[in-house]
């Protein structure tokens, strides 16, 4: 590890490197030097992201674009160059390493501590929509093709059930049926996108609360991290994935399902933040589809967890045997809760 660290142009000499963050895909480390200065080192998972150069090109294009529009340099991720002036290291075996400046004075939350925190997160992702509105989305590489194409995610789910590699389908019949019952309703947003009724946007696609760095003093958003899945997509994906994760009253892998529900108060707070900032850059139909984005992203993510469970846990990092199944069940619980609160979700969105 030290060998990799020493290839970046750092202030000071590295004195420590520890595991950092809670991502499910990449390996992330915090590096500290004797300067003292902090950096975030990442080994990007190129099984998930095989087009390493395309991915880094997206990150560079997006951060350069945002950098032109901000005052405080902490408001955008900043890559640290290598000693030979590259912005990342790509080695044999498609090993991708990159280093970011640590965002000074920031915190990120795995769960909100107040409605206000979540309103601020809404502002952060709404701001991202606004900052990227004048960037041609088609310039970005589709790093994971069809990432939020729910009908294609269903195809993969069907295949996993048929193959049933680990003989697990029998024990999760109820869970499988839950997703199959909702298949017919899962193609609406993709249909509206393909017909051109919904515009393609630059979207983040992984708008979990813990991807927003907030100022530790003011609790206002500083910058958005985890830009690996930035791609052309729909505004409803970004709104929806944020609600899926952040408006839930429990963790994504909570085992006690009686604790899992979607808070309408948090939903409202996020909607106020998000729509408040991005209103003028969204069309009326886009605003109307935001609640469906929340339901759909939750359904899709739950199905992805269950697919991975059926395939033998090869995609998401797990730290216990049934981790993916637990995650699938929280998402199902949230989808049901949203279905029960559907009329209110629509009403709140019209109000904000």
Does position 308 interact with ligand GN1 (CB under 6 A)? The reply is: no
Does position 141 interact with ligand GN1 (CB under 6 A)? The reply is: no
The binder of ligand GN1 chosen from 8, 24, 193, 240 (CB under 6 A): 24
Token readout for 191 is 């249909």
**Residue 25 contact, options ligand GN1, Mg ion, none, Cβ 5-8 Å cut-off depending on partner type:** ligand GN1
The binder of ligand GN1 chosen from 238, 252, 292, 337 (CB under 6 A): 252
Q: How far is the CB of 13 from ligand GN1 (least distance, A)?
A: 30
User: Cβ(95)–Cβ(22) under 8 Å?
Assistant: no
The answer to whether the bond into 36 is cis (omega within 30° of 0) is yes
**Residue 150 contact, options ligand GN1, Mg ion, none, Cβ 5-8 Å cut-off depending on partner type:** none
Does position 301 interact with ligand GN1 (CB under 6 A)? The reply is: yes
Radius of gyration of the chain (CA): 20
Closer residue to ligand GN1 in complex, CB, 7/27: 27
Q: How far is the CB of 241 from ligand GN1 (least distance, A)?
A: 6
The binder of ligand GN1 chosen from 120, 229, 311, 324 (CB under 6 A): 229
Does position 23 interact with ligand GN1 (CB under 6 A)? The reply is: yes
Residues 144-173 that bind ligand GN1 (CB under 6 A): none
**Sequence-separated (6 or more) residues with CB below 8 Å from residue 242:** 121, 122, 125, 207, 208, 209, 270, 274
| Number of Cβ within a 10 Å radius of residue 33 | 16
Map tokens 């209103």 to a residue.
279
Q: How far is the CB of 170 from ligand GN1 (least distance, A)?
A: 26
Per-residue binding string, ligand GN1, 25-64, x by CB under 6 A, is: x----------------------x----------------
Does position 300 interact with ligand GN1 (CB under 6 A)? The reply is: no
Token readout for 186 is 């899962």
Nearest 5°: the CA angle 145, 312, 249 is 75
Instruction: Return the SS3 of 179.
Output: helix
Q: Please name which of 341, 203, 163, 160 lies closest in space to residue 264, comparing C-alpha atoms.
A: 341
DSSP result, 64-110? HHHHTT-SSGGGS--BPPBTTS-SSEEEGGGEEEEEEE--TTEE--S
Does position 206 interact with ligand GN1 (CB under 6 A)? The reply is: yes
Does position 226 interact with ligand GN1 (CB under 6 A)? The reply is: yes
Q: Please name which of 269, 276, 204 lies closest in space to residue 236, comparing C-alpha atoms.
A: 204
Binding interface with Mg ion (CB under 5 A) = 23, 211, 226
Does position 94 interact with ligand GN1 (CB under 6 A)? The reply is: no
What residues line the site for ligand GN1 (CB under 6 A)?
23-25, 48, 206, 226, 229, 252, 301
């Amino acid at each position: 590890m030290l060998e990799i660290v020493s290839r970046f142009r750092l202030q000071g000499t590295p004195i420590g490197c520890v595991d950092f963050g809670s991502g499910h895909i990449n390996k992330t480390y915090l590096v500290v030097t004797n300067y003292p200065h902090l950096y975030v080192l990442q080994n990007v998972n190129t099984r998930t992201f095989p087009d390493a150069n395309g991915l880094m090109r997206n990150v560079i294009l997006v951060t350069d674009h945002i950098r032109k529009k901000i005052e405080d340099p902490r408001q955008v991720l900043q890559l640290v160059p290598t000693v030979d002036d590259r912005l990342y290291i790509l080695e044999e075996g498609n090993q991708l390493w990159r280093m970011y400046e640590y965002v000074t004075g920031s915190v990120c939350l795995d769960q909100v501590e107040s409605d206000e925190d979540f309103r601020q997160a809404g502002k952060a992702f709404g701001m991202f929509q606004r900052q990227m509105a004048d960037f041609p989305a088609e310039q970005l590489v589709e790093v994971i093709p069809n990432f939020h194409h729910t009908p294609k995610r269903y195809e993969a789910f069907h295949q996993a059930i048929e193959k049933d590699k680990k003989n697990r389908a029998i024990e999760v019949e109820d869970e499988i049926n839950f997703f199959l019952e909702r298949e017919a309703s899962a193609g609406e947003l993709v249909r509206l996108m393909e017909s051109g009724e919904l515009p393609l946007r630059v979207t983040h696609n992984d708008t979990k609360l813990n991807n927003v760095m907030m100022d530790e003093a003011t609790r206002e958003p500083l910058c958005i991290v985890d830009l690996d899945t930035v791609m052309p997509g729909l505004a409803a994906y970004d709104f929806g994935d944020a609600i899926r994760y952040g408006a839930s009253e429990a963790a994504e892998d909570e085992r006690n399902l009686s604790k899992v529900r979607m808070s309408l108060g948090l939903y409202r707070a996020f909607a106020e933040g998000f729509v408040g900032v991005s209103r003028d850059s969204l069309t009326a139909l886009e605003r109307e589809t935001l609640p469906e984005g929340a339901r759909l992203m939750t359904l899709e993510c739950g199905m992805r967890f269950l697919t991975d469970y059926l395939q033998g846990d090869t995609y998401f990092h797990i730290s216990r045997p049934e981790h993916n199944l637990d995650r699938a069940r929280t998402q199902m619980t949230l989808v049901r809760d949203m279905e029960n609160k559907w009329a209110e979700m629509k009403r709140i969105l019209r109000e904000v």
